[in-house]
Amino acid sequence: MPAGTSIVDASTALLLAFSSMVGLVHKLRSGEGQRIDVSLFDTAIALQCQELAAFLNMDRRFERSRAGIGGAWLSAPFGIYRTADGHLALAMASLSVVGELLEEPRLAEFGDARRAYDQRDEVYELVQAKLLERPTAAWLELLATKDVWCAPVQTFDDVVDDLQVAHNELLTTVEHPSGGTLRAVGVPVRFSATPGSIRFGPPAVGQHTDEVLASIGYDDEEIRTLREDGVV
């Protein structure tokens, strides 16, 4: 199903920020500026570089998984599975190990890499049937004994109470222009010398219009005229 967040929009903004830094380095070294163009379309294509490279260089074509496995070129047991009380994400893992932990010996039969891909829907169905037998936490504890890559599928209620989220200080509180407070996502990058923080809430519409106009040379009377004429 469609992604639940604006992946391409956010990725394009990050790409523009990264490209601006590259342009700045070029300016500092050469003294010359340059135009930088990014687009949502180009970003959407670039984000699929791995899958498109496989498509362009392999004779084989990907067929949609009937079990709903999203990754085009990922072998079993990769996928999202329902458990007795929620959902669980499984990444790449040894099918014999997973079969041992789930007490499903048939999984070992798909250990060959080609078969693990060709018959990934069959593997998914075998794994899914077993994971329905216990709650997510029980499976996570068991799978961890063999270092199987897995994680719970969390709701936002789970995320805001996650201990790792708290440890990484990923949520913060800022002042809102209305005078109240607003909870927001913090800075996901750590700088050892210049640590960042979220210091202001999102501005109200037009909150900084006068400041922006003044910064580019408009005086108070001109700004007042612009407001009276409905320009701003």
Region 7-32: mean pLDDT is: 97
Least confident among 58-62, 166-170, 194-198: 58-62
Pairwise CA distance, residues 202 & 174, whole Å? 9
For each of the domains in the chain, give its residue range(s) and CATH number, in order of start. 7-47 (no CATH), 79-153 (3.30.1540.10), 165-228 (no CATH)
pLDDT tens digits for range 165-185: 999 999 999 988 888 899 999
Question: What is residue 153's predicted lDDT score, i.e. its pLDDT?
Answer: 96
pTM of the predicted model, to two decimals?
Answer: 0.79
Read off the pLDDT band of 230 (50, 70, 90).
very high
> Using omega within 30 degrees of 0 as the cis cutoff, is the peptide bond preceding 77 cis?
yes
Report the candidate in 67, 217, 45, 197 with the shortest Cα–Cα distance to residue 129.
67
Q: Are 149 and 92 in contact (CB under 8 A)?
A: yes
Q: What is the dihedral of CA 99, 103, 125, 90, to 10 degrees?
A: -50
